């Protein structure tokens, strides 16, 4: 197994914050991270009004293989969502 393959398949975690515009409130964005990209999600904070007139903000911990996390981040990028990474995948201690 090559070093890059080991990195891609090793279980890791990263923290992100995403903004989900009101136009996506009826879309299962977070659910698709699990079902389509195989990552485990822990929602550590969220702000989404019940009236759904404003954008939503989510702080998430993504856990999975490096290639799964990269795939999930690519998916969020393709949706043109604002994503901030809050920690180093390799060195997050949690």
User: Using one digit for the tens of pLDDT, what is the confidence trace for 7-32?
Assistant: 577 899 999 999 999 888 888 999 99
pLDDT in tens, 42-93: 999 999 877 667 888 999 999 999 999 999 999 999 999 999 997 544 444 4
Q: Give the list of residues 6+ apart from residue 75 with CB closer than 8 angstroms, or none.
A: 32, 33, 36, 37
The ranges assigned to domains in the chain are: 3-85
pLDDT (0 to 100) of residue 23: 87
pTM: 0.78
- CATH number belonging to the domain at 3-85, selected among 3.30.70.260, 3.90.1150.10, 3.20.20.70, 3.40.640.10: 3.30.70.260
């Amino acid at each position: 197994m090559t070093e890059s393959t080991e990195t891609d398949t090793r279980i890791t975690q990263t923290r992100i914050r995403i903004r989900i515009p009101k136009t996506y409130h009826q879309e299962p964005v977070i659910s698709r991270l699990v079902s389509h990209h195989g990552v485990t999600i822990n929602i550590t904070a969220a702000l989404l009004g019940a009236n759904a007139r404003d954008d939503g903000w989510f702080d998430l911990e993504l856990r999975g293989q490096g290639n799964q996390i990269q795939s999930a981040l690519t998916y969020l990028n393709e949706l043109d969502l604002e994503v901030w990474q809050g920690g180093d995948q390799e060195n997050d201690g949690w």
